[in-house]
Amino acid sequence: MSARKRRQNRSADEAELVRELIEALTALGNYLVAEHREFENQQRPLGEVLRQSLNQYERAAEAVRRLRELVFGGGPGHEDRQGR
């Protein structure tokens, strides 16, 4: 595969991960706003909204891990090379 094609594939992968991250964070924010409203009105069990919020947090965290791996590489010690 040519270097240009690899860059295009990597850019597409990065764009997909960023989209996934944005969607998960948007959903998380929406759940937290709903949670706040429902807690004040006590319309729905708090546990259900918290579970949905945590699912979106986990989705966002996984997208960040995958993006970090794509950008910095997933080999041993890659965090040390990046000053972490």
Boundaries of every domain in the chain: 26-71
Q: Is the dihedral of CA 20, 24, 27, 33 positive or negative?
A: negative
Q: If you count them, how many residues does the chain have?
A: 84
Comparison of pLDDT for 58 and 6, the residue scoring more:
58
pLDDT of residue 8: 79
Global pTM reads: 0.55
pLDDT of residue 67: 84
Taking only the tens place, the pLDDT of each residue in 24-81 is 888 888 888 887 787 777 766 777 778 888 888 888 888 888 888 888 876 544 454 4
